Amino acid sequence: MRAICGAGIALLGLAACTAIAETPPSAETTEVLAKTNRADTFPALEARYPGGIVARPHVEFANYVGYRPLQLDLYLHADRERAAPRPLVLWVHGGGWQRGDARQSGAFADWPAVLASLAARGFVVASIDYRLTGEARFPAQVQDVKAAIRYLRSQSAGFGIDPARVYLWGGSAGGHLAALAAASCGVAAFDPPASTGRLPGSRAKTARPLPQSDCAQGAVIWYGAFDLADSGEPQGSALGPAMRERVLGCQPDRCTAEAVAASPITYVSKETPPMLLIHGTADTTIPIRQSEEMAARMRAEGASVDLVALPEAEHGFLGKTPDATRRHSRDALARSFAFFDRLVQQKR
């Protein structure tokens, strides 16, 4: 046997190796099964971060026929087999619903390191990729968020997750999806379909979605979109007519019902889990009015919400200078970590 490491991870100086056989199988010795095999047999790679965190990339959480496998990165604790289960935080990336990935956010230079640092505070952290608008129309995106929650709950014992403490975190379009998933607990229209891409045809016909709950117990939303039906957004806003056609798949002037159904603010009630909303006052991509109106609706319904306005911060917490961008970004991060810590303390 010999060890091989993922090249990209090795460059970071992180341990990410797996053992493989010295002698490759020949045509005569290659194992062949009796039936078609759809399992993913590629060796699992891992990267190690400070604080006893083990990051596992490309964990498949759903596989739908006709689409690429849906994957997430998972930030686990090395002691998870002997420690008490930890709360889960699920990050949902932004990118206008049409781009982005699980490993980036705003101006942060190393987002995976940020997620690992949150895990080191006592959380299991997952960061997902979902179907973008070029792949599938809404509600596929929020269904994917809920599919990830259900999958992680179904694997909670092995991953060291406390299934009773699941929190969402997202920015921009990911903020919209995280808020929508949190606010729409029990909404059947957003239930994820059964994951059948790796099943033989006979089993796929009768497959059912995972039975675990996709409800969340709290959420942090950065510069999110909460009312897609708002027709008063200014020129340049990400919530204009083009968004409705791209995301919702309907003509902007005939799209009101679809936009209302896709808006987190529609589902707010006294049962909506606690949220922290952070938004820059100078944001022209998704104006702060979106967060202000969501906070007002939550308060009116008796739900718990904190709204933080960052003066002169643009979308992505960008400032007028590099120092301002660093200040806004670090402030938002510190407030978010403190909010998650507080949720954990309240749950005990």
Q: What does the pLDDT read at residue 250?
A: 87
The beta strands (E) that lie in 198-304 are given as: 218-222, 275-280
| Of 93-97, 116-120, 253-257, 267-271, minimum mean pLDDT range | 253-257
Q: Among all chains, which residue has been given the structure tokens 């942090």?
A: 220
Q: What does the pLDDT read at residue 43?
A: 83
Q: What does the pLDDT read at residue 52?
A: 96
pLDDT exceeds 80 at position 296:
yes
- The pLDDT mean for the chain works out to 90
Q: What does the pLDDT read at residue 6?
A: 45
Q: What does the pLDDT read at residue 205?
A: 82
- Strand, helix or coil at 104? coil
Give the C-alpha distances (Å, rounded to integers) separating 196 from 192, 201, 295, 310: 12, 8, 39, 44
pLDDT exceeds 90 at position 241:
no
pLDDT average, residue stretch 313-328:
97
Q: What architecture is the 46-347 domain classified under in CATH?
A: 3-Layer(aba) Sandwich (3.40)
pLDDT average, residue stretch 42-52:
91
Q: Which two tokens stand for residue 115?
A: 């997620």
Which pLDDT tens digit goes with each residue over 5-14?
443 444 344 4
- Strand, helix or coil at 337? helix
pLDDT average, residue stretch 55-72:
95
Q: Among all chains, which residue has been given the structure tokens 């994820």?
A: 192
Task: Show me where the domains of the chain are located.
Answer: 1-27, 46-347
| Residue scoring higher pLDDT (239 or 294) | 294
Share of the chain above pLDDT 90, in %: 73
Which pLDDT tens digit goes with each residue over 130-173?
999 999 999 999 999 999 999 999 999 999 999 999 999 999 99
Q: What does the pLDDT read at residue 203?
A: 84
Q: Among all chains, which residue has been given the structure tokens 């014992």?
A: 157
Give the C-alpha distances (Å, rounded to integers) separating 282 from 154, 310, 335: 41, 8, 19
pLDDT exceeds 80 at position 3:
no
| Residue scoring higher pLDDT (273 or 232) | 273
Which pLDDT tens digit goes with each residue over 185-222?
999 999 999 998 888 877 888 888 889 999 999 999 99
> Who's near 24: CB < 8 A, 6+ residues apart?
none
